[in-house]
Structure 1
Amino acid sequence: MKKVGLLGGTFDPPHIGHLVIAEEVYHELGLDEVWFIPSNEPPHKNKATTTVKHRLSMVEAAIASNDHFLLNPIEIERPGKSYTFDTIQLLIQKHPDISFYFIIGADMVEYLPKWNRIDELVNLITFVGVKRPEYELKTDYPIQVIDIPGLDISSTMIRERLAERKPVTYFIPPSVRQVIKENQLYEPRERS
């Protein structure tokens, strides 16, 4: 049976941390692919600051050089809040020959008890928890833990740096930076 990792998020913008997590889990679990699934409206966060079109373009740019990373727009194609349970049900219906591994950061591991239909969800997929420096991986739910190199990078930090005209070189792939420049995303704030 094919093994596919799923990495969801707003990817606003995608950054090196996302890519490192996906590659480390791919390698450690011997996955066939990792699918990046941009969310339409995440239930636990505010809406993305950029359009769906731009976020899809940035993810495509970020993963273009890796043949085992793929973009899956399943949550973008579905209106409303993006609940993981609904996404997984659709993926299993479309791909009954695939075992799915849902990759989450330690911050989301702590949030699992609040997930929609979590008790059913843990029976459909394998959760893979990746460590982040400021979080512990403690939960009553079954998760497979993967140690990854510590990278304290977030999309929020990148948006703030861009707004303050600070460099983001090495935090995001050059291809993502190009999409940001071409579309004038995350415009700098006026200095006072």
Structure 2
Amino acid sequence: MLAEEKLMKSHLDPQNISAETHARIGLLGGSFNPAHKAHRAMSDYAMQKFGLDAIWWLVSPQNPLKLPGQLKPYAERYQNALTAAQNVQGLVATDMEARLGLIYSIDLLRHLRKNYPKIQWLWLMGADNMVHFHYWKEWEEIFRQVPMAVFRRPPYTGMIRQSPAYQLFCGAEVLPTEPEKLFTGYLPAWTLADNVEIDLSSTEVREGSKQAW
């Protein structure tokens, strides 16, 4: 890759892309309440495994499945994510959902696909989200909008095969040894990543039972 291409790839954030941008970008949404080493490990793995040019940490203004009182103030969570992502090549913490006034993933995906049609998107999420995915707004349509990489996370990995999402879309599973099949354009397509599991949650960090880093 040429030096100027490397520079361009290092600035693939929502402020510096256009409808003509060609790139492969991973999307990791969450409350980041707070950000921690499991978020970074997932991002590092995804960047290498799937040949991503960037990963956006989508700091949600409000998780629809959580009560407002369960989250720290948005400004605090966003700043925490910015700090955790700084100086990491290709990693961008963004407040675009808040700026766009969106809280549902399906609405953000429609916005991204419409406005940046030449970017290859990859949705990144933990096994816990896969297990509870049927509670998300238009969850079946999300599978048809974007390829997905589901990351192993204890104790949820063993529950995936019993989930409604797996039962409906098991035929669209891509082997972790064939990651490029996620980007053929044929959807739905998802894979269960062969990452090393990290037993850590934001709840444990907040409660002080485990360290964020």
How far 1:78 sits from its partner (Å)? 3.6
Partner of residue 185, structure 2: none
How far 1:122 sits from its partner (Å)? 1.3
* Structure 1 runs not aligned, ≥5 long: 173-192
**Larger helix share, 1 or 2:** 2
Please, which of 28, 36, 43 is the counterpart of residue 49 of structure 2? 28
Partner of residue 12, structure 1: 33
Matched, 1:60 2:107: no
The answer on whether the counterparts of 2:45 and 2:195 sit within 8 Å (CA) in structure 1 is yes
Q: Percent identical across equivalent pairs?
A: 24
Cα displacement string for residues 117-151 of structure 1 (whole angstroms, at most 9, x for unaligned residues) = 12222121011100112123321324211121221
- Distance in 1 (CA, whole Å) between partners of 2:113 and 2:210 is 41
Matched, 1:154 2:175: no
How many aligned residue pairs are there? 165
Please report the TM-score for the alignment, with normalisation by the length of structure 2. 0.72
- Distance in 1 (CA, whole Å) between partners of 2:39 and 2:33 is 11
The answer on whether the counterparts of 1:128 and 1:146 sit within 8 Å (CA) in structure 2 is yes
* Structure 2 runs not aligned, ≥5 long: 1-21, 173-189
How far 1:65 sits from its partner (Å)? 1.8
User: Which of structures 1 and 2 has the larger relative contact order (alpha carbons within 8 angstroms, sep 6+)?
Assistant: 1
Give the AA of the match of 1:55: R
Cα 1:72–1:91 shift into 2, 3 Å = farther
- Distance in 1 (CA, whole Å) between partners of 2:135 and 2:76 is 30
3-state DSSP of counterpart to 2:39? helix
- Distance in 2 (CA, whole Å) between partners of 1:125 and 1:76 is 21
* RMSD of aligned residue pairs (Cα, Å): 1.7
3-state DSSP of counterpart to 1:76? helix
- Distance in 1 (CA, whole Å) between partners of 2:132 and 2:123 is 14
Please, which of 22, 40, 43 is the counterpart of residue 64 of structure 2? 43
The answer on whether the counterparts of 1:40 and 1:78 sit within 8 Å (CA) in structure 2 is no
